[in-house]
Amino acid sequence: MNNQMVNYTYDGSFEGLLSAIYDSYYRHEIPLNILPEGMIQVGIFNNDYSVQTDMEKFDKVYNSIREKISPIALRNIYYVYVSEWANKEYIIYKYLRLGFKLGRDVDRFITDDSVLKVRIISRKVTSECHRFLGLVRFKLMDGDYYYASLEPDNNIISLLALHFSKRLSDQRWVIHDLKRKSAVVYDKEGWFLTSIDKPVKGSLSSDEKGFQSLWKLYFKNIAIKSRKNPGLQKQHMPVRYWAHLVEME
């Protein structure tokens, strides 16, 4: 094993990250760190290695994780990847190194720091994703498509897309992450990720304005004054999400 202090940089994609895992194995190196391009701090004793995203390498690592560790491990590392956790790439790297030795038993070794962190982070992302399944508010826009803006703590729009592409498969829609300036676009046949720098300024459809009025009226009248519990409401629907909820406008 090469003991040189080498920083790996990649393009920030999941495909690039698994390409880095592949390269570290075949270069017989333990990276000092794995970070997106532009995030590496220059050190006089360090070398940098720029990983080139390679779909063949990605497929090999992807399939190896699923077959030699488990599909759950594959899902969990993707959830860690979409998190905003510091050093998430290195946590995934250490987890996979152990996973390829232990197989599907790896998730039982919670005394290992990387296994414990993968478990904690994936649960946090799962929790936020589940919460947003109930908090995404689509608006019908002129042009006959639905638009929803949000600002989640983690980069979960690809996970939301998997859900809504089944639930709203007969509609065109956009889920826009304002914090990361990215969006999922669905066109009734499939979805893709793209960049959108600014909030969409299109006009609401005439029907949508009526729907929003009815929804606000329903939200106001369904509440039982004697049973109001603002603390519990904020626990299930944190204030930082309210800016994108029609009923809180």
DSSP 8-state secondary structure symbol assigned to residue 11: -
β pairing state of 47-50 and 139-141: unpaired
What 3-state DSSP class applies to 177?
Answer: strand
Contacts of 62 by beta carbon, 8 Å cutoff, 6+ apart: 18, 74
What is the distance, to the nearest Å, from the Cα of residue 99 to the centroid of all Cα atoms in its chain? 22
CA distance 235 to 151: 17
Residue-wise pLDDT tens digits, 168-196:
999 999 999 999 999 999 999 999 999 98
Sequence-distant (≥ 6) Cβ neighbours of residue 191 within 8 angstroms: 161, 165, 184, 185
Per-residue pLDDT of the chain (249 residues; tens, 9 = 90+): 555 678 999 999 999 999 999 999 999 999 999 999 877 665 655 688 999 999 999 999 999 999 999 999 999 999 999 999 999 999 999 999 999 999 999 999 999 999 999 999 999 999 999 999 988 999 898 888 999 999 999 999 999 999 999 999 999 999 999 999 999 999 999 999 999 887 777 787 777 777 777 777 777 777 777 777 777 777 777 888 887 887 777
Convert the pLDDT of each residue in 32-59 to its tens digit. 999 998 776 656 556 889 999 999 999 9
Contacts of 247 (CB under 8 A, 6+ apart): 215, 216, 219
Dihedral sign for Cα 163, 167, 171, 177, please: negative
Per-residue confidence (pLDDT) for residue 19, from 0 to 100: 98
What is d(CA 189, CA 172) in angstroms, rounded to the nearest whole number? 9
Whole-structure pTM value? 0.85
List Cβ<8 Å contacts ≥24 apart for 37-43: 37/9, 37/10, 37/11, 37/12, 38/9, 39/9, 40/7, 40/9, 43/5, 43/7
User: Which tokens sit at 118?
Assistant: 């993968």
CA-CA distance, 170 to 201, in Å (whole number)?
24
